[in-house]
Structure formats: C-alpha cells, structure tokens
A and B are shown apart, each in its own frame.
Chain A
Amino acid sequence: MYNVKVYVTYKASILDPQGEAVKMALHRLEFTNVQAVTQGKYFELTITKTTQSIEEQVEKMCTELLTNTNMESYRYEIEELTTEG
C-alpha cells in the first residue's frame, strides 16, 4: 500500500491570478513582506501495490489527468505504508 501526495501548481512562467489575489489580501492583513503566493491543488491517493512500478503509475496519473501539462507542473511524494504484524 502506498500513500501518495501530489501537488499541482501553474508553471512558474504563468501568472497565477488566484495566488496574486491572495497575496494582495495578505498585504491588506499587513503582511506586506509576502513576496509571492502560489495557489495550487493537493491530492492524496491511497494506492494498492501491483507489479507495475508506483512511480510509473503516478507519473501517468499526473500527466494524463491530474495536471494540464500545457500550463501546470506537478510534484509528488510516495510513501510506502508498512503493514503491521
């Protein structure tokens, strides 16, 4: 069993309008030292172990569905869950 965390954000070269709006609101909260805000999406997946490599599977999930690779980038963390007993 794996626990996989996937983070998706706009590519760095693309203006993230929601992040910009959040930044402006933080400035109004007087956190004027906030230089940049990136807003993104977070997915947590619980995946059963198969013969196929987990990296390959997650990579495909990211490129085929979880991100629009035209404008978004992704990263993920894979944690293998050890079964007790």
Chain B
Amino acid sequence: MKYAVIRFPGSNCDWDMYYVLRDQLKVEPIFVDYRETNLPIDVVAVIVPGGFSYGDYLRSGAIARFAPIMEDIKKFAEAGNPVLGVCNGFQILTEAHLLPGGLRKNQHLEFICQQQDLFVQNNQTTFSNQFKPGEKVMMPVAHGDGNYYCDDVTLQQLRTHNQIVLTYSKNPNGSVADIAGIVNEQGNVMGMMPHPERASELVLGGTDGLRLFQSVVTRQLQK
C-alpha cells in the first residue's frame, strides 16, 4: 500500500508531500520519476505535487502532460483510483483532461503567497470526508496561475454533480465561482490550488490540510 508522489523536472513540493505521508500519516510514500512508464503495482493513490514542471513553458502543466508516466496515471485514474493534484499538480491534471477547465494567470497578475480561508462545499468525497459540511478551513496558497476557468456549461455540470469541493473565502485570484478545488465526475480525481501539505503540522500554522490526506487514507482503509 504505497502512496506515489510523482516528480517532474521542476517539481518542488515533492518532499513536503513525502514528509506528510511518512511522518504525519504514517503511510508509505514512494517517489515515482516522470520517465517511468508504470506505477509500482502496490500503489494505492497518486499525488501530483506542486512546483513549476518544465519551467511552466507554454502553459503551466502543458508539457508535463506528455511525460511518460502520465499514460499510466490516466489508466490508474480511469480505474477509479484516487489521484490528487496540488497547485502545479492541478494544472497538470486539467491539461491532461483528467479534470475539466483550466488555470489562468491570477486576475491581478501578482504571485500570491498567503494563508487562505476556504469553505468545504462537499464533504462526501474521497478527499474531504474528514471535514464538516460548510466548514471553514485554512491552507496556504502560493501561485501565479491559479485563476480557475471553465465555461458556463461546465460550471453547471460541476454544480449538478457536486464536484466543487473547496471554494475561497475572499477570492484571491479571480477564479470562476470562487473555485479552489474540484473533483472529476467520478469523484476519484481531485485538483486544488491550496497546499494541504503546508497545513499538516501545528508548527507550520495549522492542520486542516492533514485532514484532506486523512480522508484519502480513511477511504483506503475502508476498502
């Protein structure tokens, strides 16, 4: 039962994820290089960490989509297994068409790095079952391209299928409908701009993020 953390050239939140998985959650993390073509067979969840894969060339996440490991991540996701993309990981998952919509430059063009209040809109997912409905939680954001966009039809679908998991309190970047995190229609792929791995220890200012990972682990143990 391993939790895979994918490393692209330019990933920079990979160790943060690793530490949280190993030291806070006491599960077994494993780094998987982007050049691999297969995930190890005992992997139960995939995490695509934040950073600036391929230097954000062309568009954030656009080149990472073509990394060799992505084919197997797609298969893993299509089989219903949990995949979490944080920040650049979210951007990669939208570019890979595993999640709808895309991330634009922040409306005010500034890179934002701050503690961010969020609302849990759906606490029934693999990634949010340890929160209360409507709960206000805090996780840091740190991004330049976090301005979520989807067209009206897609937004309606997100609402109909309860795919909006996290929204911003005081929208910091211009995202459509204050969206901070969504799941796919099946509910097994999640993308979010805030960093739960940076809110998983009291010494770092909060543990709301830890509960997001605990949600995944809890679901896994129920299987």
Contact = CB atoms under 8 A, between A and B. Distances in A.
A34 interface: no
Contact of B150 (A10, A15, A17, A70): A70
Contacts of A21: 109
Given A14-B149, A17-B174, A68 B62 contact: yes
A84 B109 CA distance: 48
B101 A70 contact: yes
B2 interface: no
Given A68-B62, A70-B101, A17 B107 contact: yes
A66 B58 CA distance: 8
A65 interface: yes
Contacts, number: 35
A17 B110 CA distance: 11
Interface in A39-60: 41
Given A14-B149, A17-B174, A18-B109, A65 B104 contact: no
A81 interface: no
B12 to A, nearest CB: 23
Nearest to B102: A70
B95 interface: yes
Given A65-B62, A68-B95, A15 B107 contact: yes
B35 interface: no
Contacts of B105: 17-18
A17 B108 contact: yes
B104 A71 contact: yes
A65 B107 CA distance: 24
A71 B59 CA distance: 12
Contact of A68 (B102, B107, B109, B151): B102
B106 interface: yes
A65 B149 CA distance: 18
Contact of B149 (A41, A66, A71): A71
A71 B106 contact: no
Given A10-B104, A18-B105, A71-B102, 7 more contacts: A15-B107, A17-B104, A17-B105, A17-B106, A21-B109, A65-B66, A70-B101
